[in-house]
Chain A
């Protein structure tokens, strides 16, 4: 159904005589990863992989912690979208605590928080990280491909500043609700811990006309950049796939709560109304020994055909309408110019992301006018059960948290499928496509390799945490403190079978 057309590049048939090229660390993405390529003597790509070198051990160390610690702890998995983990964790704990009717005030506060976060995260990704590729071109000088250089350039400065200000607004929405821009506290089992301060609400409201204007300009900018070279931008890193996302009532675009839908390559709905709590009935994950990130798939289609994409482009492709006026207008325009859903162009993720910024700003405006934010019940009754699942649309796509507790309320098991993980197969397939179509047989240089990173960046992966490496990896290592005492040892020694480039 959705074949991985470049799957043959996942594994070289033999490794002798191949040259290894590594892009390490991946830059201008959040978190840590690297890409390795194996090339033959004619520079033909034989293998291309995105490795996630991060390992945290969360599933283990959360065990034995009290359930109420979960939301606070879990957001520290990711400082880019901590609110997503906070909310998915909180929803899972609601479920665990039988909190079925959280009061409207609490739900609206959580939604406002979430819109603030999607807005800031998208702005960060587009303006601070990805835009230099689109503004300056993929083969521009590496030293200049960053937001600081954008700030220095006469023409690009305004764009960079707009991004910084959009992000600041999103961060301020968050701060006003949970006390800190990063890793605050707000959600409790069954609700929230406080109302929004009226003064804070007024402050935010005053900024909104400007924020909406910037958001509109952001959409125009993304559209212009993508359509500047429509043929090429449609083809680059594009890998036809299924799309998975939550939708609200009547197929509306949804970020906080809803049912899952899958759209197929031809535009039909493969699934509709899937209950996210029952994810285990239709999702499975494959483990590959070369990455710490697993590879999820729809179980009835199997790992080869059941892969899919999530995130802003998936949400646009999957929903029927936006539910806010300006974003809806932009959604229609998007499909008029790009063809009917599903749009497969990987670079269209950037455009979709900008439309979502606009949507979030519109929703924030609506909510700030709602009296419920400033008064009313904050918590509902709870009674503890044994298991809870929480699912939301994080900026990067569907995020699943699942916990089990014992009779004392201590966690006995946890399972998380984070947004970027859902895109694992797609990111690998996109990078293989670029390796095969753009790099194969050519003389390799840094500029060409940036195209690979661009393919991965389009997904806005959040590989948060862990590592970077420069040059050759040490295979054996004793750790000494500054005073010379031995501090640790390695678990295993890599066997180094890969030929170094």
Chain B
């Protein structure tokens, strides 16, 4: 193949990794994918610095300062930004904490939990500052495509990827759209 390979980066923000797992559920099609595309930064590779990419896949919403930074960098360096799954699209389960003040969540876990020794709220500078509310991805950056589902099925992810790889506008056929 003469055409340079497409570069794909993926990241998981405040998500459960289920969307990444659903992506791996393309099974043997991964072989086909590696022939067409190279992976840049992703939890599946050891590339830690994001390079210029054609496609950036975001799982999870935005819950802390690092999420914001990573997300902005993905926006800056990826031509197409694809938000996959309920967490990225509307905050998902992690956003259930938005009903409570953040302090209350931290206190419940670290001060009031069962059988705690030396209870204290973790506050080391190495821990990224938490946002008061968990946000969906589109409230922080512009998103090009979204794939709904918790997680979206492997077929749905594959169909969008194939379209983008071929330079077509992705379309999600009706049977591939689901929200659970």
Q: Is the CB of B94 within 8 A of A56?
A: yes
Chain B min CB distance to A357 (Å): 17
Residues of A within 8 A of B103 (CB): 491
Chain A min CB distance to B22 (Å): 6
Residues of B within 8 A of A289 (CB): 120-124
Cα of A450 to Cα of B46 in the assembled complex, Å? 9
Stretch in A93-101, A147-155, A246-254, A361-369 with 4+ CB within 8 Å of B: A147-155
Q: Is the CB of B68 within 8 A of A168?
A: no
Given A25-B43, A467-B64, A479-B131, do A57 and B122 touch, yes or no (CB 8 Å)? no
Residues of A within 8 A of B173 (CB): none
Cα of A450 to Cα of B48 in the assembled complex, Å? 12
Taking the complex as formed, is A283 at the interface, i.e. its CB lies under 8 A from any CB of chain B?
A: yes
Q: Which residue of A lies closest to B16 (CB)?
A: A79
Taking the complex as formed, is B171 at the interface, i.e. its CB lies under 8 A from any CB of chain A?
A: no
Q: Which residue of A lies closest to B22 (CB)?
A: A182
How does the 8 Å CB contact mask read for A66-80 relative to B, with 1 for contact and 0 for none? 000000010011111
Given A287-B120, A498-B125, do A491 and B48 touch, yes or no (CB 8 Å)? no
Taking the complex as formed, is A326 at the interface, i.e. its CB lies under 8 A from any CB of chain B?
A: no
Among A168, A287, A477, the residue within 8 A (CB) of B116 is: A287
Stretch in A188-196, A213-221, A231-239, A481-489 with 4+ CB within 8 Å of B: A481-489
Q: Is the CB of B96 within 8 A of A79?
A: no
Q: Is the CB of A181 within 8 A of B25?
A: yes
Q: Is the CB of A55 within 8 A of B106?
A: yes
Q: Is the CB of B128 within 8 A of A53?
A: yes
Stretch in A27-35, A258-266, A334-342 with 4+ CB within 8 Å of B: A27-35
Among B11, B17, B106, B124, the residue within 8 A (CB) of A79 is: B17
Query: Which of A32, A78, A297: most chain B Cβ within 10 A?
Result: A32
Cα of A147 to Cα of B31 in the assembled complex, Å? 10
Q: Is the CB of A145 within 8 A of B46?
A: yes
Given A25-B48, A181-B22, do A57 and B108 touch, yes or no (CB 8 Å)? yes
Q: Is the CB of B14 within 8 A of A465?
A: yes
Cα of A495 to Cα of B127 in the assembled complex, Å? 11
Q: Is the CB of A24 within 8 A of B17?
A: no
Cα of A85 to Cα of B125 in the assembled complex, Å? 31
Q: Is the CB of A183 within 8 A of B113?
A: no
Residues of B within 8 A of A73 (CB): 93
Among B94, B99, B126, B138, the residue within 8 A (CB) of A290 is: B126
Chain A min CB distance to B83 (Å): 13
Taking the complex as formed, is A301 at the interface, i.e. its CB lies under 8 A from any CB of chain B?
A: no
Taking the complex as formed, is B170 at the interface, i.e. its CB lies under 8 A from any CB of chain A?
A: no
Chain B min CB distance to A456 (Å): 13
Q: Is the CB of B43 within 8 A of A27?
A: yes
Residues of B within 8 A of A53 (CB): 64, 66, 126-128
Interface residues of A in 154-181 (CB under 8 A from B): 157, 161, 164-165, 167-168, 171, 180-181
Given A287-B120, A481-B139, do A60 and B25 touch, yes or no (CB 8 Å)? no
Chain A min CB distance to B77 (Å): 11
Stretch in A106-114, A377-385, A390-398, A468-476 with 4+ CB within 8 Å of B: A468-476
Cα of A473 to Cα of B11 in the assembled complex, Å? 17
Chain B min CB distance to A236 (Å): 18
Q: Is the CB of B116 within 8 A of A142?
A: no
Chain A min CB distance to B31 (Å): 5
Among A143, A171, A292, A479, the residue within 8 A (CB) of B47 is: A143
Query: Which of A63, A181, A287, A462: most chain B Cβ within 10 A?
Result: A287
Cα of A313 to Cα of B94 in the assembled complex, Å? 32
Taking the complex as formed, is A225 at the interface, i.e. its CB lies under 8 A from any CB of chain B?
A: no
Q: Is the CB of A183 within 8 A of B150?
A: yes
Residues of B within 8 A of A210 (CB): none
Taking the complex as formed, is A299 at the interface, i.e. its CB lies under 8 A from any CB of chain B?
A: yes
Chain B min CB distance to A69 (Å): 11
Q: Is the CB of B125 within 8 A of A494?
A: yes
Q: Is the CB of A79 within 8 A of B13?
A: no
Beyond the given pairs A82-B16, A465-B12, A479-B140, 16 more chain A to chain B contacts, judged by CB atoms under 8 angstroms and listed by A's residue number, are: A27-B47, A51-B126, A53-B64, A76-B16, A128-B44, A151-B31, A180-B180, A181-B22, A287-B110, A287-B120, A464-B17, A466-B13, A468-B13, A468-B66, A491-B103, A492-B129
A-B contact pairs, 28 of them (CB 8 A): A27-B42, A28-B46, A34-B126, A55-B64, A55-B122, A55-B130, A60-B100, A143-B47, A146-B44, A146-B45, A148-B33, A151-B30, A165-B27, A182-B151, A183-B150, A280-B114, A285-B115, A287-B117, A287-B119, A294-B116, A462-B17, A465-B17, A467-B64, A479-B68, A479-B140, A487-B139, A496-B125, A497-B125
Residues on B lying within 8 angstroms of A by beta carbon are: 11-22, 24-25, 27-28, 30-31, 33-34, 38-39, 42-50, 60, 63-70, 73, 92-94, 96-97, 99-100, 102-106, 108-110, 113-133, 135, 138-142, 150-151, 153-154, 180
The 7 closest A-B pairs by CB, nearest first: A79-B18, A57-B105, A290-B124, A57-B97, A61-B96, A469-B66, A467-B66
